Structure 1
Amino acid sequence: MSIRVKILGSSSATPAHRRNHTSQLVNVEGKYYLVDCGEGTQLQLKRYKLRAQRINNIFISHLHGDHYLGLMGLLSTMHLMGRNKPLNLYGPRGLAEIITLQLRYSETIFNYDLKFIEVDASRSQVIHEDELICVHSIPLNHRIPCSGFLFEEKTKNRRIRREMLPDDMSVRNIIRLKKGEDIYAEDGTLLYKNKDMTLPPRQSFRYAYCSDTKYDESIIPIIEGVDMLYHEATFLEEHLDRATSTYHSTAKEAATIAQKANVGKLLLGHFSARYKELEPLEAEAREFFAESYLAIEGEEFILDS
């Protein structure tokens, strides 16, 4: 299993029609990454039985309230539930000040270390890396500094052909085989060739999250060929003027970006409260990009080989 994206919230500006503010949980082989944290996010985590304490990295795209106003509550709950592991918080300039100011006036000291990593919304850069993934920022075109996030799985280990393993193969040598190494005796004699003992690694996937942005083709080189793209689709094309003036996108524009970037699948979200029914947005997108889907509460999108 590779990347699973659980939609916690899909509404823009205000909660409406049982839709919550923007938030997603990205699960990479059991490791949790939270992307945006609108109001009510911690309740959605509980609703879908997702353990907040497994989250060690939170990515905030920008400082409009519908993308971060649930953050302080979530951090406080983690503290009250006894968290002692460090937590990394990635976001734009000002986020650290917002959080530390609330902690100061509530006279609260968390049980755990909170590390702030400021994201420069003007350029694409690697902002996080661990044993599973590398996360790049994506500069977006919004009214205030705003970044998307590209989750890129690292190359996986090679797969062992178990029928070829001798009974006395050590764990150490199995690890070497998975890393692509040949196995040699102490005197330098070749014992096992890697290509005879292993199969190629499973596919690595890429998922791009593009929150609030007006139509902007400058992101295409960064997201080109990703397996799955989330791109905001706040409005229908009939409300293009409104989309443009508020620095948002229409479903048609999101689909056009997906088509030009040659992505595998498009997820639509950040829906305006003016639309009670969302099927027209999905239909509009599918006219231009067939693999378009509504990223609504509770839906889970899986990239697996």
Structure 2
Amino acid sequence: MKIKILGCYAATPRTITNPTSQVLEIKNHMFLIDCGEGTQVQLRKHKIKFSRIEHVFISHLHGDHFFGLIGLISTFMLLGREKDLHIYGPKGIKEAILLLLKLGNAYTSYNLYFHELTSNESEIVFEDNKVRVSTIPLKHRVYTNGYLFEEKITERPLNIATILNYDIDKLYYNKIKMGGDITLEDGRVIANTELTFDPPLPNSYAFCSDTVYTTTILPIIKNVKVLYHESTFLEKEAHLAEKTMHTTAKQAANIAKLANAETLLLGHYSTRYGDINLFQKEAQEIFENVLLGDDGAAFEF
């Protein structure tokens, strides 16, 4: 599982910082999460192949999280894209994008599929045989969702030494990988746990963008491997976090601790602060394993 941060600062873009956007690579998928202004420039800068992006997940309709989407869609068209593009986001995103395309008489040559979200409950929005993506309802000034990306366990590794002891035909190997027990010719049933090893724990990534501090998300993100949580302010500006419906670094760390997350990744820093290391220092008072997101940062788990 790889995460590339294209931008992770709040509000307006600057020459030295970019608004929220990141790329998640998981089980051969490349998902674009949020698409703030300048995202396509960051994709080019970090040599990320546009063609691999087939699914875009937008948390909410504030500009620093989706103003780059129309530009990216237009560039895909200019590059002669033929692959379908799926866009997940709040109701209204289809109207906003199609209006801009209509006014510019610039309809795409590829299929655009909008999956508009309205539910205040967690729901599965994408699923195949490798990955499941669910929403994480958040509390912000407008309708907002985070997203939980989860690998699926598909096969159990074979314990070949044990299998050979029972002289089991290779024809049954696939059944064993998928968790099946085996009945021998003499009627004995060999449990799958004896014939296989436990697979590695699946990766999971929870993206929690703009939100006030809320514990309602805990049942959804419990035991997540990596939690990205916005940390717009330091604790001394907690009053501003509450007023603007954002979170402090210490509050993000508390969510990570309560969720039993393995790693906390911080981002969405207010540009009022000159040193983002202060966010890590503050969060580590509550939760030890804290990473700092920053423009261009890459993480592999």
Aligned partner of 2:222: which letter?
E
- Tell me: CA distance 1:48–1:162, structure 2 relative to 1, closer, same or farther (3 Å): farther
Q: Which residue of 1 aligns with 2:134?
A: 136
Q: Can you give the 5+ residue segments of structure 1 that lack an aligned partner in the other structure?
A: none
Identify the residue that residue 228 of structure 1 maps to in structure 2. Answer: 226
Q: What is the TM-score with the length of structure 1 in the denominator?
A: 0.89
Separation in 2, partners of 1:26, 1:225 = 19
Q: Are positions 1:22 and 2:17 aligned together?
A: no
Following superposition of structure 1 onto structure 2, how do residues 204-283 of structure 1 map, counting pairs within 5 Å?
Answer: 204-283=202-281
Aligned residue in 2 for 1:180: 179
Offset from partner CA, 1:164-193 (integer Å, 9 cap, x none):
888xx77x75544432346789x9999998
1:61 deviates by: 0.2
> Which residue of structure 2 aligns with residue 297 of structure 1?
295
Cα pair 1:15 1:273 within 8 Å, conserved? no
SS in 2 for 1:202: coil
Correspondence for 2:106 among 98, 105, 108: 108
Q: Is the 8 A contact 1:57 1:88 kept in 2?
A: yes
The answer to whether the 8 A contact 2:27-2:131 is kept is no
Q: C-alpha displacement at 1:129, in angstroms?
A: 0.7
CA distance in 2, matches of 1:86, 1:173: 38
Question: How far apart are 1:93 and its partner, in Å?
Answer: 0.8
Indicate conservation of the 8 Å contact 1:16/1:273, yes or no.
Answer: no
Post-superposition Cα deviations, 1:183-231, rounded to whole Å, max 9, x if no partner, equal 789x999999855654332221221110000111111121121111111
Asked if structure 2 preserves the Cα contact closer than 8 Å seen for 1:61 and 1:211, the reply is: yes
Whole-Å Cα distance in 1 between the matches of residues 260 and 54 of structure 2?
32
Q: Deviations 1:103-140 (Å, cap 9, x if unpaired)? A: 11111221211111111252211111112111111111
Identity over aligned pairs, percent: 42
For the structure 1 residues 281 and 131, does the alpha-carbon distance in structure 2 shift closer, same or farther, using more than 3 Å as the test?
same
Q: Which runs of 5+ in 2 are unaligned?
A: none
2:149 to 148, 151, 160: 151
CA distance, structure 1, for counterparts of residue 240 and residue 46 of structure 2: 34
Distance 2:39 2:280 in 1: 24
Work out the CA distance in 1 between the residues paired with 2:52 and 2:188.
43
Q: Residues 47 and 173 from structure 1, CA distance in 2 versus in 1: closer, same or farther, beyond 3 angstroms?
A: farther
In structure 1, what residue type is equivalent to 2:75? Answer: T
The answer as to 2:8 corresponding to 1:10 is yes
| Distance in structure 2 (CA, Å) of the matches to 1:174 and 1:44 | 45
| Distance (whole Å) between structure 2 residues aligned to residue 128 and residue 163 of structure 1 | 38
CA distance in 1, matches of 2:278, 2:15: 15
Checking the alignment, whether the CA contact within 8 Å between 2:8 and 2:294 is kept in structure 1 is yes
Q: Helix, strand or coil for the counterpart of 1:57?
A: strand
Is 2:184 aligned against 1:201? no
How many angstroms apart in 1 are the aligned matches of 2:281 and 2:119?
A: 32
Letter in 2 for 1:293: L
Q: Give the superposition deviation at 1:45.
A: 1.4
| Aligned partner of 1:81 among 66, 79, 83 | 79
Instruction: Say what the alpha-carbon RMSD is for the aligned residues.
Output: 2.5
Superposition TM-score, scaled by structure 2 size: 0.90
Give the SS at the match of 2:147: strand
Tell me which residue corresponds to 1:96. 94
The alpha-carbon deviation at position 55 of structure 1 amounts to 1.1
**8 Å contact kept, 1:92–1:121:** no
Q: Distance in 2 between matches of 1:17 and 1:76?
A: 23
3-state SS in 1 of match to 2:210? coil
Call closer, same or farther: CA 1:108–1:284 in 2, change over 3 Å: same
Residue 294 (structure 1) shift: 0.9
Contact conserved, 2:27 with 2:151, CA < 8 A, in 1? Answer: no
Q: Give the aligned residue type for 2:178.
A: K
